[in-house]
Structure 1
Amino acid sequence: MELRHLRYFVTLAEELHFGRAAERLHIAQPPLSQQIRQLETELGFSLFYRTKRTVRLTDAGQIFLLESQRILSQLRHAIALGQQVSRGEIGQLTIGFVSSAAYNVLPPILQAFRAQVPGVTLALHELTTAQQPQWLQEGRIDIGLFRPPVESNGCQVETIFQESLTLALPETHPLTQQKKVSVRSLIGEPFIVFPRAVAPGLYDPIISLCQQAGFSPIVAQEAIQMQTIVSLVAAEMGVAIVPASLQQLQRPGVTYRPLAEVTPQVAIALIWRQQDRSSTVQRFVEVVRQIAQQWIA
């Protein structure tokens, strides 16, 4: 039995007229009659009572019609689901992100993706930059938002956002009285920084900025989360040079001040497996590219 036999049968059962059914199916009437007889022979029971003037379903035919309609409906549903998956419109996407992305790119990306592709379920994991390539290789995430550069063999990387650096100070610090703070003013200050092994894309520009001002910063404490760094600043453990978007993290005890010097730009990039042909991943990349035009123009 083939699916076309079910379609022929359902159409005839709906029309109860061989001529009209054949017309709907775009075939001649004799082949339709032949296909129905073949189906009845294969099933071992009659589907229709036939006279010269009428065609009507047998009791067995009525039951078979209900089940056949259900099968064809399930088939249409399966085809529709397959098409949606192939277009990246349904499924699940697991995203890794560095904590700082939550203060700039992550919210608008998630908002845009959910608006355009509501059928995809998103699972989020807060990860360091160093963790993301490994999680990608292990298949634990599908795509990541990280601070480049990072060792990314077998991965595709695309920068989507760049920003300058700013200064986070304890609110009692004398430098909060200045509208802009020169980097040289930070000589001798204890610094709170990211470990280089975790985020070289942040660590190196900060150290370079200080060295250009003629000193190497005194690292008093390292932390891998933006929230922790700001909390340590609030606790007067030191100062921190951070991405400018972190100013959205308003915490009691912390004051942000722009730096007088032009600072290096620090980036956020997408990372995904180079050989990943997932339509959902590609759809996510497309959405991010659309909204990233305003950030990297």
Structure 2
Amino acid sequence: MDVRQFRHFAAVAETLHFGRAAERLRMTQPPLSQSILALEKELGAPLFVRTKRNVRLTPLGEQWLPQVQAALAALDALPGAARRMRDGRSGFLALSFVSTADYSVLPSLVRRYSQAYPEVEIRLFEATSDVQLPALVEGERHAGIVIPPTDQPLPPALAYRRLLREPLVAAVPSAWIDEGRIGSDAVLSAEELLASPLILFPKHVAPAFHDLVTGHYRALGGDARIAQEAIQMQTIISLVSSGLGIALVPASLRNLARTGVTYVPLAGTAPELETGLAWRKGEISPTLANFLKLTEPG
């Protein structure tokens, strides 16, 4: 039993005429009849009732025909599907991202990519950079939006492209401003920053971000007084709203509006956070190749 026999059966079943089916298949009628007989012998049951005047399907033939037609349609679609996958117009893209990217580069990239390649399934995975990098090295994701480490280079197996640099701002409890604990000026002074308890990512989870924030405190002549740690930016903002302390966050996090939280610029030169795209070097999937084109500068 092979695909050729399936096509023979479908042609006869759809025309209910061996002669017309043979014409459609561009073959003569005798080998078509022999093919159908061989198929029926292999199935152990007739597919057609033949008389001198007409041909009709048996109950088995009627029930089997839709399945054969579906199988042939799927088979005929395979070359086109392969071409779409080859060109990165279908398939899937596995993309991981740090939580801060959800309020900066991620929405725009996903929107532009999905508009350009609507047949591609985008699989998103939120994870901290320390989790993403080993997964990218092992090929578990196509690419990841990460905060690159500052104390060591990226793994040599990975390529990297900067996507964004943005200043940090202070997320402060709105009640502190109302109570006068923090001045109502347009910026947060160095004195107010140093005097306020801080909510921050743990160093082992986000070493680059942790070092950026604590380094800014040291540059101001003090040390960060860490009151609470959390591994999700949304959690950090929730803790700020509860009044446990302030947080230094990327400026794009202003897009995360939260009752009880006010975003205030830092006095002086604010530290800048870099966010970029990392992916494994070497063979690149077509969907990733198109995604990389989308992120090229300019």
Work out the percentage of aligned pairs sharing the same amino acid.
Answer: 31
Q: Is the 8 A contact 1:176 1:257 kept in 2?
A: no
Q: Distance in 2 between matches of 1:101 and 1:144?
A: 10
Matched residues in 2 for 1:158 and 1:192: separation?
29
Q: Which runs of 5+ in 2 are unaligned?
A: none
Inter-CA distance 156–65: structure 2 relative to 1 (3 Å threshold): farther
> How far off is 1:33 after superposition?
2.3
Q: CA deviation at 1:135?
A: 4.7
Looking at structure 2, the residues matched to 121 and 267 of structure 1 have their Cα atoms a distance apart, in angstroms, of: 24
Shift of 1:98: 2.5
Distance 1:66 1:266, change over 3 A: same
RMSD, aligned CA:
4.1
Which amino acid is 1:250 matched to? A
TM-score, normalised with respect to structure 1: 0.70
Distance 1:201 1:264 in 2: 12
- Counterpart of 1:286 in structure 2 is 290
Q: Which amino acid aligns with 1:286?
A: N
- Structure 1 pair 270–232 and aligned structure 2 pair: CA distance change class (3 A): same
Name stretches of at least 5 consecutive residues in structure 1 with no aligned partner.
none
Contact 2:162 2:275 in 1 (8 A): yes
Matches within 5 A, 1:1-297: 1-16=1-16, 20-25=20-25, 27-29=26-28, 32-41=29-38, 43-44=40-41, 47=48, 49=50, 56-57=54-55, 60=58, 63-64=60-61, 66-77=63-74, 80=77, 84=81, 87=85, 96-111=96-111, 116-117=117-118, 120=121, 122=123, 125-135=125-135, 143-149=143-149, 151-152=154-155, 154-171=157-174, 172-173=176-177, 175-181=182-188, 183=190, 186-211=193-218, 213-221=219-227, 222-272=229-279, 274=281, 282=287, 286=290, 290=294, 292=295, 297=298
Residue aligned with 2:186, SS:
coil
Q: Deviations over 1:127-146 (max 9, x none)?
A: 32212234556777665433
Aligned length: 282
SS state of the match for residue 247, structure 1?
helix
Q: TM-score, normalised by structure 2?
A: 0.70
3-state DSSP of counterpart to 1:215: coil
In the TM superposition, residue 41 of structure 1 has moved relative to its aligned partner by 4.1
